[in-house]
Amino acid sequence: MKICQQLIQLYVNESQAESLRLTSKTYQKACNWLSEKVVVSKNLNQRQLNNLYYKELRQRFGLKSQMAQSVMKTVIASYKSAQSNGHEWSLVHYKHPSYDVVWNRDYSLNERLFSVNTLAGRIKLPFESKGMQKYFNDDWKFGTAKLVYKFNKWFLHIPMTKGIPLLKEQDVTNIVGIDLGINFLATSYDSKGKTTFFNGRKVKHKRGQFKAVRKSLQQRQTTSARKRIRAIGQRENRYVRDVNHQVTKALVERYPKGTLFVVEDLTGIRQATEKVHVKNRYVSVSWAFYQFRQLLEYKAQLYGHKVMVVSPKYTSQTCPKCGHIAKRNRNKKTHTFTCVNCSYQSNDDRIGAMNLYRKGMAYISDTVMVKV
Ligand SMILES: [Zn+2]
């Protein structure tokens, strides 16, 4: 299963802009109103929220039925996300106008037009389609999108999946983001907010040793040296494979059946052969990561889990607390992450796992949690 997210710019005339403004402002107000109720009642059960607030949401804000449903989903998702980041019941405030729209219900999209329900009725808008074409002719599915207003322009964030239909909440018992790194071979972050580090230092050291021996042998041009180089290469491969087996096994056994593992698509890095500095030696790691993912996918299937592969875009630069994206957030040397916006601090491998977890969450709750 592949997922990705696209941001497209919408082209609007004055009256369309007015419809979008009115709708997204109303949506924002409704979310803030419901958020204040939820933080008091401490209830995130959709059916119960529906019984309690649906009528009032519609009357007070003049929302259509579907919009009222989406408001509840948005608020529930925000609180679940905040809680998974360790913020138990602190008030979620929606700072900017936005509007979550469900595919084929609130919006549709073809090569030319974006069509969306607003409080003033259905409107159809052209959009910047560059880079979008390939998603129309393949078997990509569009998820719940988010309409946002930024830099005096209107944008639509659209999550997309390919391969299997969008997962439903009831199919998934747990979400685990897995970040693959060097110091920690794998770092996982789960629905309970627990971080687990699978130490990779030993692996790094061992692979460095293999490399050093290989190098010294390379300087001798003898047949026996070449033979030994090959043997060492095979031993190294077996070693890494063995470690990958152990870690992926630990992961699939650790979590309950129905877990959704979220990993990065590192195939780009595999080509580029990412190099990591280890005491004046360089260790190529990319093929090991690729193998890790293959083994995880294989084992996940046996254990009744799923693996979701997402784009690695911004996973190491995004603040999981406030959503701020900045290269400066991350200090690669000290392996620390410090948000330049809200000062949130953590280990950088953990940040990666948290952000992958969030990407998984966004799918399950069927609501895109793009911070605006
Ligand atoms: Zn932050």
Q: Are strands 113-118 and 153-162 parallel, antiparallel or unpaired?
A: unpaired
Q: Give me ligand 1 centre to Cα 174, in Å.
A: 25
Token pair, residue 252, equals: 């699939």
Q: Give me ligand 1 centre to Cα 85, in Å.
A: 12
Instruction: Output helix, strand, coil percentages for the chain, rounded to the nearest 5.
Output: 45, 25, 30
Q: Give me ligand 1 centre to Cα 319, in Å.
A: 5
Q: Are 338 and 329 in contact (CB under 8 A)?
A: yes
Q: Which amino acid is at 220?
A: R
Closest CA to 322 of 90, 45, 132, 120: 90
Closest CA to 353 of 302, 318, 325, 301: 318
The whole-number average pLDDT for the span 159-182 is 75
Residue 19, number of CB atoms within 10 A of its CB: 19
Give the domains, in start order, of the chain with CATH numbers.
2-162 (no CATH), 169-367 (3.30.420)
Q: Give me ligand 1 centre to Cα 349, in Å.
A: 16
- pTM here is 0.56
What angle separates helix 65-84 from helix 14-41, to the nearest 10 degrees?
50
Closest CA to 339 of 356, 355, 321: 321
Closest CA to 261 of 349, 190, 320, 192: 190
Q: Give me ligand 1 centre to Cα 136, in Å.
A: 35
Q: Give me ligand 1 centre to Cα 100, in Å.
A: 23
Q: Give me ligand 1 centre to Cα 141, in Å.
A: 31
Q: Give me ligand 1 centre to Cα 351, in Å.
A: 11
The stretches of the chain forming alpha helices (DSSP H) are 14-41, 46-61, 65-84, 134-137, 201-218, 223-254, 267-272, 286-303, 348-364
Q: Determine which of 73-82, 167-176, 277-286, 332-341 has the lowest per-residue pLDDT on average.
A: 277-286
Q: Give me ligand 1 centre to Cα 114, in Å.
A: 32
Q: How far apart are CA 180 and CA 261, in angstroms?
A: 13
Q: Give me ligand 1 centre to Cα 92, in Å.
A: 15
Q: Give me ligand 1 centre to Cα 350, in Å.
A: 14
Q: Give me ligand 1 centre to Cα 108, in Å.
A: 33
Q: Give me ligand 1 centre to Cα 99, in Å.
A: 23
Q: Give me ligand 1 centre to Cα 69, in Å.
A: 29
Q: How far apart are CA 329 and CA 345, in angstroms?
A: 9
Q: Are 264 and 276 in contact (CB under 8 A)?
A: no
The whole-number average pLDDT for the span 35-44 is 92
Q: Give me ligand 1 centre to Cα 329, in Å.
A: 9
Check pLDDT > 60 for residue 367: no
Check pLDDT > 90 for residue 261: yes
Q: What is the pLDDT of residues 303-322, one digit of tens each?
A: 888 888 887 778 888 998 88
Q: What is the pLDDT of residues 197-235, one digit of tens each?
A: 887 777 777 777 888 888 888 888 788 888 888 888 888
Q: Are 157 and 148 in contact (CB under 8 A)?
A: yes
Q: Give me ligand 1 centre to Cα 343, in Å.
A: 6
Percent residues over pLDDT 70 in the chain:
87
Q: Give me ligand 1 centre to Cα 176, in Å.
A: 21
- Which uninterrupted H or E stretch holds 222? none
Check pLDDT > 60 for residue 281: no
Q: What is the pLDDT of residue 228?
A: 86
Q: Give me ligand 1 centre to Cα 341, in Å.
A: 5
Q: Which residue has the higher pLDDT, 73 or 203?
A: 73
Q: Give me ligand 1 centre to Cα 289, in Å.
A: 28
The whole-number average pLDDT for the span 276-304 is 68
Q: Give me ligand 1 centre to Cα 316, in Å.
A: 13
Q: Give me ligand 1 centre to Cα 361, in Å.
A: 18
Q: Are 190 and 251 in contact (CB under 8 A)?
A: no
Contacts of 97 (CB under 8 A, 6+ apart): 21, 24, 25, 27, 28, 148, 149
